[in-house]
A and B are shown apart, each in its own frame.
Chain A
Amino acid sequence: MRMMGARTTPAELPVKPGAPVRARAWLRSAEARHQAWGYLFLAPMFVLLIVFKFIPMVQAFYLSLTSYDLLSPPKFVGLRNFVTLLEDPLFHQSVRVTAYYVFGTCVLIWFLALGMALIFNAPLPAKNTLRTIYFLPAIVPVVVYAIIWLFLFHPYGLLNVALHAIGLPAIQWLTDTRAVLPGFILAGLWRFVPYFMIIYLAGLQNIPHEYYEAAAIDGAAGAQAFRFVTLPLLRPTILLVVVVSIILMSKVFTNVLIITGGGPDGATRVLSLFIYQTGFQFFKMGLASAASIFLLFGTMTFTLLQLRLFREDARG
């Protein structure tokens, strides 16, 4: 007797001559009905993905091969936009600024978030309250986050007051081209370290305590337990943090637009802002689309690279 919930497979169906007949029979089967329900439940998400992700991506790729000013119909220009980008010093500057910001922020996030997760994973008084307070910057709306940092970056803002208090000279956070990006990295850490700390914390709490007990019996504690138990078992979480942080940081936009608008002298014009300005301010949508394709492939390459590196590491 068939158990409830067990599915009928096509192999179990009576074989009838003729393919259409077989197909009709299969369509009437429990297997087909089961799959149909699955697809039905997935359909809204597929529609959203197709309409708001895949079609715009394909459209952006098509536009990247055209000269399009938003106001008149696009004209096909082949790869000219990509060549223009490769020759454009402003685009090069944007790539450098984005790379500086992404790696400047991400590398610090990986270590600081892990450090904070380890602290909050340890037995602490009022741990949950402290975690909640620490997590607050991650849930502040991005516009509020930008305005808070606009005040902090003011020449007489809290950052310079703090520097003054420890005897350091004030920094012109928003007008010094050397200081402005480190300032943004600082702001990025304030917002994103708590976010990734929570992800690490979830990973840490998923590690069964028995492993640590076994390690302790073998004489491994403290740093050794961290190296030989925590880190290997945290590898999937680390991979997630690395991939997600790079993707998130490479999309930085709103706070830069609000705080500096890409200035001074393009020192904070990240790729997303370059794309926005090229497309919607300068009406060069073809060029903006080419830059967005570049950003997409750049992010994808890094993601695939990380997945491969971590996979090989796992095998090794």
Chain B
Amino acid sequence: MMWCGRVVLGTIAVVAMCLGLSAPRSAGIPAATAAAGGWALPTEPVTLNEWDGGDGTKSALLEELIAQYEKIHPNVTVKFETDVKSLKVAAAIAAGTAPEIFEASDANLQKYIAAKVVEPLPAAAWGQPSVDGVVALYLPHVLDAITSGHSLYAVPDQLNAHSLYINNRVFRAAGLDPVKDAPKTWDDIARLNKVLTKKQGDRVTQKGFEMRYVCDDGHWQAHIFHILVYQAGGEVIKDGKPVFNSEAGLRALTTWKSLVVAPGVTNNTCSSPYQDFAVEQDAMTFAGPHVGKIVERINPAMQGNYTVVPLPQLRPDRPATLIYSFNWTVNARASAAQKRVAWDLIHFLSSKPDLWWQRIQFLQGTKGWLTMPAARNTPFMSAFTHDLSVGKPLGRTTYYADLQSIIARMVDRVVLKDADPKSSLAEATDEFNRASAK
């Protein structure tokens, strides 16, 4: 049920407009939000620690909101720390020193849920009689990956689906229109690569499109592999077992290979993965809604110099992409009072989607945001909502970290070593089975 079905944009818009009216928490919420009705907060002094994995842009907004919350609740002190890696969170959990609130990706969360280190979300903190009520506040399926059984374990501070970013100048220089000539399929991308890739002698000076191969954990490769497999009609993981060694997996790898230009010619790094697009070496890239601001920060000349269109598909009649999130979670070891305040703070932070969108283009997936003026006036909103509407969550497994590393190696074999995709898929399946048996 969590996995099935894709919701088309029209459905989302209609449902969102209907529910948006009945969900005032999502839009235009006043700064001084009190605790949801029936959610009693302690009156004694409470200190919370919150760790966030975000960058400077995000932490500025978070600090501002936390200060607002502390003003409303003078008995609450929040010690905020930013740029915290998931490795530090894991080590702190092991040492029993994890903060009361920490950010976890949907990929890591399955492990935390299985180990019972995160607390199930209490619906009452959202003023809802049950978890279904909280789930109903969000767009369909966006909470699937952070739900287990009938419990919801977090809400997203950032939700993404990848769309296609196009450099207007480079397109126009090649005689192309960024909107009319925007690629709709991966075959279109492969064709455009021939037009947009430029060389000076043997030296590649400009590329059309290139996948990202940065980050030692392999998460970019895992994202794109998921997308291509979904688009080919397959699954990556089903009931915790690997099912990507299939026709869909094969199609995903062969498609991937058809798009390779020069993987080594890159200045992307794990901490700056959009560098090649930002400095106009790559004419196209895949990214979520928040990336426009990052690209503009790297290269101010990119302001107004890009167009966002829906992510290319294998079969445009059966579109699919990936939704993934970073989420606020509460430590199960926190005291009862801390948990109460922690959930209330998360409710407070997550009830301002307009602010998050306006300030840093972080999308939290609540239904109401689509109807907000800030959202309606956002350029390329139709592309973002389209990709979100056809998004499916990552393969659900407590061995996701192993999985993404295995996928990255499989892609390396096919792309860089020219290995046979079929045998690479089989090898990767064996590796996953071994990893999950350890």
Residues of A bordering B, CB below 8 Å: 69-72, 84, 88, 90, 154-156, 170, 172-177, 257, 260-266, 273, 277, 280-285, 287
Shortest distance from the beta carbon of B257 to any chain A beta carbon, whole Å:
14
| B111, A69: Cβ atoms closer than 8 Å | yes
| A177, B115: Cβ atoms closer than 8 Å | no
B-chain residues with CB within 8 Å of residue A264 when the two chains form the complex: 213, 412, 416-417
CA distance A80 to B91 in the complex (A): 24
| B216, A262: Cβ atoms closer than 8 Å | yes
| B94, A263: Cβ atoms closer than 8 Å | no
Binary flags per residue of B58-71, CB closer than 8 Å to A gives 1, else 0: 00000000000000
Shortest distance from the beta carbon of B31 to any chain A beta carbon, whole Å:
37
| A71, B93: Cβ atoms closer than 8 Å | yes
- List 5 tightest A-B contacts by C-beta distance, closest first: A261-B216, A71-B115, A265-B412, A70-B94, A264-B412
* Additional 12 contacts, C-beta under 8 A, given A155-B265, A176-B416: A71-B111, A88-B434, A156-B203, A257-B216, A261-B270, A264-B412, A264-B417, A265-B416, A282-B405, A283-B90, A283-B111, A285-B94
Q: Which of A70, A263, A284 has the most CB of B within 10 A?
A: A263
A172 nearest in chain B by CB position: B264
Taking A88-B434, A283-B111 as contacts, is the C-beta distance between A266 and B409 under 8 angstroms?
yes
CA distance A42 to B215 in the complex (A): 44
Contact of B217 among A172, A174, A281 (CB under 8 A): A281
| B412, A263: Cβ atoms closer than 8 Å | yes
| A70, B417: Cβ atoms closer than 8 Å | no
Q: Could you write out 10 A-B pairs with CB less than 8 Å apart?
A: A71-B93, A72-B116, A90-B431, A175-B263, A261-B215, A261-B270, A263-B409, A264-B213, A280-B91, A283-B401
| A155, B264: Cβ atoms closer than 8 Å | yes
Contact of A282 among B116, B202, B263, B435 (CB under 8 A): B435
CA distance A156 to B267 in the complex (A): 11
B14 at the interface (CB under 8 A from A): no
CA distance A287 to B262 in the complex (A): 37
A177 nearest in chain B by CB position: B417
B-chain residues with CB within 8 Å of residue A260 when the two chains form the complex: 216
Binary flags per residue of B176-209, CB closer than 8 Å to A gives 1, else 0: 0000000000000000000000000011100000
Shortest distance from the beta carbon of B333 to any chain A beta carbon, whole Å:
11
CA distance A278 to B149 in the complex (A): 28
Taking A72-B115, A257-B216 as contacts, is the C-beta distance between A177 and B438 under 8 angstroms?
no
